Amino acid sequence: MAGVLGQLDGEEELIVDPGTGDGIDIDQLLVQAIIPRPIAFISTLSTAGVLNLAPFSFFTAASANPPVICFAPMIRRDGSKKDTLRNIEETGEFVVNIVSEEFKDKMNLCAPEYAADTDEFAISGLTPLASDLVRPPRVAESHVNMECRLVQVVHVSPLPRGGSLVLGEVLRFHVDDAVVTNGRIDPDKLHAIGRMGGPTYVRTTDRFVMDRPK
């Protein structure tokens, strides 16, 4: 593997300088090392009224009070913004839909970079469901939806494959009763999936308990 620059304790060690690249695809290095990653299936609406739906695996929570989530869409290789980011910057609204294994194939149909006037709901066959407080619809097939209002966009890098951190306050949660057990979201019912490197995904069925020390 290109990029082997040094050794540690007599054993080969991969050392990569992102500034030089050293023949390594930094994007792939990140997604292979930071695993597993949850998937934010983001629905937006353009100012022209076109629905957009796209998955992002640079995704996590940023705050619980108020509830704020964040995800990071990358700049395209041609230097342009993804439709999701542009729509959010122009409208200030989006919905995060949690992906369950039962509709993974339809989610995957939304992953390619389509033209801005493409409706990924129509491409995938997923069902738009009216939100309560924001204009973008929810994904009806998703068991957990979060209606969000934009808090801030932090443009980390304008370079191709650079990223922008999008923070959104959750105005309303929608949780399907079918995935709830004793007042908690049941992972055995939600069947959420996560992203690994490349085309590989992971299920959330193999788990273990480890109590936090007191």
Query: Which tokens hold the place of 172?
Result: 């309303």
Whether 72 and 166 have beta carbons less than 8 Å apart is answered as yes
Whether 129 and 168 have beta carbons less than 8 Å apart is answered as no
> Could you tell me where the DSSP H helices lie in the chain?
26-33, 83-91, 104-108, 120-124, 187-190
* CATH architecture assignment, domain 15-203: Roll (2.30)
Q: Along the 214 residues of the chain, how does pLDDT read in single tens digits?
A: 333 333 444 567 778 888 876 556 888 889 999 999 999 999 999 999 999 999 999 999 999 999 999 999 999 888 899 999 999 999 999 999 999 999 999 999 999 999 999 999 999 999 999 999 999 999 999 999 999 999 999 999 998 889 999 999 999 999 999 999 999 999 999 999 999 998 999 999 999 999 999 9
